[in-house]
Amino acid sequence: MYDEKKGMGSYNAAIDDDALEFLADISNGDARNALNAIELGILTTDRSDDGVIHIDLATAQECIQKRSVRYDKEGDNHYDTISAFIKSMRGSDPDAVSYYLAKMLYAGEDIKFIARRIMICASEDVGNADPNALQVAVAAAQAVERIGMTCEDGTDCRNYGVLDGIHEAKVLIGDMIECNPDNIIIYGNSSLNIMYDTIARSMTHGVMGSTPWCKLDKVKFLCPVPGYDRHFAITEYFGIEMINVPMLPTGPDMDMVEDLVSKDESIKGIWCVPKYSNPQGITYSDETVRRFARLKPAAKDFRIYWDNAYCVHHLYDIDQDHLIEILAECKRAGNPDMVYKFCSTSKITFPGSGVAAIATSANNLEDIKKQLKVQTIGHDKVNQLRHVRFFKNIHGITEHMRKHAASLRPKFEMITDMFDKELGGLGVGTWYKPKGGYFITYETLEGCAKNVVAKAKKAGVVMTPAGAPFPYGKDPKDSVIRIAPSYPSLEDLTTAAEIFVVCVKLASIEKILEEK
Ligand code: PMP
């Protein structure tokens, strides 16, 4: 606008701020639209008395109208968009590339046409810098030509339908959680959402014909503690009474579980994170799983909520925990309908846009589908398909999880090494060394957890509130602190861990002095 050499500076024109903002907005990320509109405005607007060509909002609106932003497959806009797409690839701007790709696909552009342009770019623009680019582009073009957006059975994944998920996604998830694909329903992105739905349905409609829980005087759930706060939030939300069951190094205290479940008909479920548990990283022992499968609950509609969120989340290649598959074990024990198994790829691909699933018996599936078919016409199959195409099979998931492990392992080890070095032998707390999962738990002396978290906060280290891993946010001993090491860099985490151990020492000294 003001550049005399490359622009229209010699015209002595000026543009109002609101006109500029409008053009930036309406140009849809394509600066050429805005530049064209400005050029048109300058060339077609009369000079004012002050000798300046003023482009105001009305002029800008009129000029951009002449260059429609609608996507017209046959006309100019088709070429504008594909050209912007190519220039974005050339400019190595993945956000812009995704934007124009999405725009073209949304408008119904032929995917083969787009794939051809990508091949041309890979060959002509990228070729010398990276000869592999062409191979990748050609492979993608071939795949899309031969396979398209359809899944194995020919279903177009962009359309409605396939209530329980596409078959290949069931196979992939089935391999991941060691279940028959026929026992699986694929949902949207969130397993927590499935758990919520499962409880909501049991409240309003019961479980396989049982009395809806909302009609009962009392409904109770067993909650192994410490556990996952969001499980407890769901049960609290529905007014379900929660009973703490202590976690042992082998899993929940099964003597207590067996005793309570067999005597009390109002106990309708138990929350379990059986592998690399949240927050301690404990994996249930074989005996624990077998005892679960052999439970004799007083309530026919008692279900085990088996949240296998960390099923493939090993930190080590060889030294891994193993968990007995619960569905098969329950079937063998004559309790085929007693378990709902949940999982998702939230900690594998994307939290918030992964794929989640439930696995359970045929009877339970039938019960669930009565609700599901009213609730939705089908979940996001494009997302299911992209997960399948990205991983291909369980080996793809395993390889991918190795990369996560490579990033997480040093963080876990740094923390537990520091605990060993700084806190080992002092008698001021205990911790496990998880072989997988996402958390480390530090157990302080009784009555110190809140103090440690508060001290750390004062020093700039924000942690999960003490008490969070317990029903109603109440840790009876005020001793459990959940540490989530995944997000910060190793450097920041090291500083945070140093601060944390100092806070533990201070809080422990205060406690010891108080008792003297
Ligand atoms: N279960 C457990 C044990 C978790 O730790 C988490 C995430 N922190 C979830 C479920 C949530 O999973 P999703 O994103 O699939 O709802």
Q: At what angle do helices 76-90 and 94-106 cross, to 10 degrees?
A: 150
Q: Which atom of ligand 1 is nearest to the CA of 228?
A: 3
Q: Which atom of ligand 1 is nearest to the CA of 352?
A: 14
What distance in angstroms lies between residue 312's CA and the mean position of ligand 1's atoms?
14
Q: Residues with Cβ within 6 A of ligand 1? A: 190-192, 228, 273, 278, 307, 309, 344, 346, 351, 356
Q: What is the dihedral of CA 98, 103, 106, 110, to 10 degrees?
A: -90
- For the chain, residues with pLDDT lower than 50 are 66-70
Among 193, 232, 278, 441, residue to substitute to test ligand 1 (most atoms within 8 Å of Cβ): 278
Q: Specify the residue for token string 């690839």.
A: 89
Record the tokens describing residue 215, joined without a space: 């009609």
Nearest in space to 231 (alpha carbons), one of 300, 289, 293, 278: 278
Atom 11 of ligand 1: nearest residue by CA position: 192
DSSP of 370-403: HHHHHH-S---HHHHHHHHHHH-SHHHHHHHHHH
What distance in angstroms lies between residue 227's CA and the mean position of ligand 1's atoms?
12
DSSP of 141-192: HHHHHHHTTB-TTS-BTTSS--TT--HHHHHHHHHHHT--GGGEEE-SS-HH
- The 3-state DSSP class for residue 263 equals helix
User: Pairing relation of β-strands 429-431 and 220-225?
Assistant: unpaired
What distance in angstroms lies between residue 510's CA and the mean position of ligand 1's atoms?
36
Contact between 184 and 173 under an 8 Å Cβ cutoff? The reply is yes
Atom 5 of ligand 1: nearest residue by CA position: 278
Contact between 207 and 286 under an 8 Å Cβ cutoff? The reply is no
- The 3-state DSSP class for residue 411 equals helix
DSSP 314: B
**Which ranges constitute the DSSP H helices of 15-75?**
17-26, 31-44, 57-65
Among 176, 190, 230, residue to substitute to test ligand 1 (most atoms within 8 Å of Cβ): 230
Contact between 241 and 219 under an 8 Å Cβ cutoff? The reply is yes
Among 344, 383, 483, 487, residue to substitute to test ligand 1 (most atoms within 8 Å of Cβ): 344
The per-residue pLDDT for 44 is 87
User: Pairing relation of β-strands 241-248 and 251-252?
Assistant: antiparallel
What distance in angstroms lies between residue 92's CA and the mean position of ligand 1's atoms?
34
What distance in angstroms lies between residue 191's CA and the mean position of ligand 1's atoms?
6
What distance in angstroms lies between residue 192's CA and the mean position of ligand 1's atoms?
6
Whether cis (ω within 30° of 0) applies to the bond prior to 279 is yes
What distance in angstroms lies between residue 511's CA and the mean position of ligand 1's atoms?
35
Record the tokens describing residue 222, joined without a space: 């067993």
Contact between 38 and 1 under an 8 Å Cβ cutoff? The reply is yes
The per-residue pLDDT for 371 is 96
What distance in angstroms lies between residue 47's CA and the mean position of ligand 1's atoms?
63
The per-residue pLDDT for 73 is 56
Contact between 183 and 361 under an 8 Å Cβ cutoff? The reply is yes
* Phi-psi label, residue 454: left if phi above 0, alpha if psi -120 to 50, beta otherwise: alpha
Atom 1 of ligand 1: nearest residue by CA position: 309
What distance in angstroms lies between residue 219's CA and the mean position of ligand 1's atoms?
24
Nearest in space to 358 (alpha carbons), one of 192, 155, 158: 192
The per-residue pLDDT for 65 is 61
Among 173, 193, 228, residue to substitute to test ligand 1 (most atoms within 8 Å of Cβ): 228
The per-residue pLDDT for 36 is 84
Record the tokens describing residue 456, joined without a space: 């750390």
What distance in angstroms lies between residue 261's CA and the mean position of ligand 1's atoms?
25
